[in-house]
Amino acid sequence: MKQRILIAVLTAGVAGSAGLAQSQQVAAPSGQKTLAATMNVYVFPKAGQKAEQQSQHEAECYSWAVQNTGTDPFELTKKAEQQQQQAQQAKKQAQSAGQGAGAAGAVKGAAVGALIGEIASDDAGEGAAYGAAAGLISGRRRARAARRQAEEQAEQQAQKSQQWTAEQLVNFKKAFSVCLEAKDYLVKY
């Protein structure tokens, strides 16, 4: 008899905990981010709004913020990715700037050196050799300076683009937050 009671109690306990687990699974969040969470904006319903109502308010405020700022954060993200790719291409192009400048400088230097050597000592070959060496060094220096300048310009342009994108995103988040606060939510970003 005691065994039957113990089995009945255990069975009821297991069934009850299974029912509790099922109800917790239903109540647990689905793992999907809200619209605000995808933009790293934290929203708390001050007036006890339900999740469905909050989702609707977020969608309304998102549309309102897009209309009032002229910025859509998801489009902004795409533009930022494109700008980053363009910056990387510009840096690659900057690295190739001035290629062959050493050889070109050597040729020019040799020509000038040959002329000077012929006039000064009737030895165009020796003058050409000195001129080629000087032209090679000078050409490489100019190429390095041009490459450095092109890389700096590419980096500055990339930074300006990133700064502009960040400013646009902050403006959007401000507008989005103002709208949600008007609907009685506490908002932080």
What are the tens digits of pLDDT across the range 137-168? 777 787 788 788 888 888 888 899 889 999 99
Strand 42-45 and strand 185-188: pairing? antiparallel
Question: Could you give the count of Cα atoms lying within 13 Å of 49 in the half-sphere of its Cβ?
Answer: 18
Same domain, 62 and 94: yes
In terms of residue numbers, what domain contains 122? 32-188
Contact, 139 vs 104, CB < 8 A? yes
Domain total of the chain: 2
Residue-wise DSSP of 5-72: HHHHHHHHHHHHHHHHHHHHHHHS--SPPPHHHHTT-EEEETT---HHHHHHHHHHHHHHHHHHHS--
Same domain, 87 and 75: yes
pTM of the model: 0.59
Same domain, 89 and 18: no
Same domain, 19 and 47: no
Same domain, 16 and 98: no
Same domain, 25 and 36: no
The predicted-structure confidence for 108-140, as pLDDT tens digits, reads as follows 665 665 555 555 556 566 666 666 667 767 777
The residue behind tokens 């809200």 is 34
Same domain, 74 and 146: yes
